[in-house]
Amino acid sequence: MRYNDQNLGLIAYGHRRKGDCGDIETLVPLNVGNSARITEQLRILRPKGKTPISDAVRLAAEEMRFTEETATVVLISDGVETCAADPCATARTLEEAGIDFTAHVIGFDIKDAAANAQLACIAEETGGSFLSAQNAADLSLAVTTVVEDVQNTQNQTVSEPRPIVARDDTLDAAFVACVRARAQAHPDPLVQSFSTAADLTDVSAVTALQSFTVAMFLQSLFASCGNP
């Protein structure tokens, strides 16, 4: 990741001790130019214990002084909250108390629908986006998509996603089949909707739902299928 002009930090949980809901640590304090340090920490991070999502997100918000300034969290989790807390309620509280608090969430290798719903709720309560990644490549794409979305929003230069493809009857059949198959396999309902859409048009349906991050993810999906 190369976002050296962004104010970034990294908080990890469940990485040092088993069975400890207090195992939450700021690995990289919030600062500009932290991209390389964060990338290196992510490479060596190994999950061992509990998943205290609520307390970790709250700590991140507090470190960004969310009651005084705009604060954005990108949460990556491979499971649900396991520390007797309600992350959806926590997200709602932070949203209500903050100046402009947003949590984008990426679920990693999660097959359980209830688990995905819990993580998606965090994003929904704060006006963020929820993406699901099934492997390392998906995770890298999702992180890049979310961080670039945040960057664009902060720079106030977010524009409508450009048209990507035309009607199905003008496209290569293999390309159409690839996009529909990958969309159907994706956990996000908005992405899934493209598996049955009448046309693979720009991303107007997603734009109407104000989900820029999902729209950008779809652009990457089209590109991976060999967008002409």
Same domain? For 92 and 124 the reply is yes
Same domain? For 44 and 118 the reply is yes
The pTM (predicted TM-score) of the whole model is 0.65
Same domain? For 60 and 144 the reply is yes
Same domain? For 41 and 141 the reply is yes
Same domain? For 135 and 214 the reply is no
Instruction: Answer yes or no: is 176 within a domain.
Output: yes
Instruction: Answer yes or no: is 160 within a domain.
Output: no
DSSP letters of 6-33? SEEEEEEESSS-TT-TT-EEEEEEEEET
Domain span including residue 66: 7-154
Which regions of the chain are under pLDDT 50? 1-2, 156-169, 201-213, 228
Two structure tokens written together for 115: 């688990």
- Model pLDDT for residues 51-86, shown as the tens digit of each residue: 999 999 999 999 999 998 889 999 999 889 999 899
Measured between alpha carbons, how far apart are the two ends of the chain, in Å?
Answer: 27
Instruction: Answer yes or no: is 207 within a domain.
Output: yes
Same domain? For 105 and 81 the reply is yes
Instruction: Answer yes or no: is 162 within a domain.
Output: no
Boundary residue ending a domain (123, 154, 185): 154
Q: What pLDDT is recorded for position 164? A: 39
Q: What H or E segment, with its residue span, contains residue 72? A: strand 70-77
Same domain? For 196 and 149 the reply is no
Total of domains in the chain: 2
